[in-house]
Structure 1
Amino acid sequence: MNWYLKVLNQYVDFKGRARRKEYWMFTLVSTLISWIISFFIIFFEAPEFGIIESLYSLGVLLPSIAVGVRRMHDVGKSGWYLLIPIYTI
């Protein structure tokens, strides 16, 4: 959980490096939180959680990009490499 909070605290830090554990622990916790919210939407038929899921997704968008850029720096690449999947569409 400390890795997740560390990424959230560094949400505008696009310089530096993010180790493999930091990146993957943030991804894991973020995915689990999204799944839990989706579980409530599907199994309890609570569509009001859809707003919460959208707000959560928007809330972690910038930290996700920042940790991705820092991870690319750690492997010796530019952060612009994150745009390659968008270009191939």
Structure 2
Amino acid sequence: MQWFILAMKKAFNFSDRSRRKEYWMFILFTLIFSIVLTIIDTVAGLEIAEDMGILSTLFSIILIIPTLSVTVRRLHDVGKSGWWVLISLIPIIGFIVLLVFTVKDSEAKTNTFGPNPKAAF
């Protein structure tokens, strides 16, 4: 949970690096919260359209910027420009390329985006 909170605190930081653990824990907790909110929407009848609940939709909208920033910082950690996040717009291939980048280990040394975040822990 601390990694999710850390990523949320740095929601508007697009210039540093995020280690693998921070990125994937953020994704995991986002997924868990989304599932819980979808269940609440369904049980409470808060659907505004079929398969579209109020709480889960608001949660998704709120997390657009934090998700984008943690992804850009993760790309920085592997030595890629944040603009590589746009490759996800290409169906299937873009998702696979972005997945490979986010799974890669950090660059061990300081790169153009800052020092290795693993060294701080």
TM-score between the two structures when normalised by the length of structure 2: 0.67
Q: Give 2:62's aligned amino acid.
A: G
Q: Work out the CA distance in 2 between the residues paired with 1:26 and 1:65.
A: 11
* Aligned-CA RMSD value: 1.5
Count of paired positions? 87
Q: Work out the CA distance in 1 between the residues paired with 2:88 and 2:40.
A: 31
Kindly indicate which of the two structures has a greater share of residues assigned to helix.
1
Tell me which stretches of 4 or more aligned residues in structure 1 moved more than 6 Å.
none
Q: Work out the CA distance in 1 between the residues paired with 2:7 and 2:83.
A: 19
Kindly indicate which of the two structures has a greater share of residues assigned to strand.
2
Q: Structure 2 unaligned runs (5+)?
A: 92-121
- 1:6 is matched with which residue? 6
Percent of aligned positions with the same letter in both sequences? Answer: 39
Q: Work out the CA distance in 2 between the residues paired with 1:51 and 1:20.
A: 31
Q: Work out the CA distance in 1 between the residues paired with 2:21 and 2:64.
A: 19
Q: Work out the CA distance in 1 between the residues paired with 2:15 and 2:9.
A: 14
TM-score between the two structures when normalised by the length of structure 1: 0.89
Indicate how the Cα distance of structure 1 residues 52 and 73 shifts in structure 2: closer, same or farther if over 3 A, else same. same
- 1:64 is matched with which residue? 67
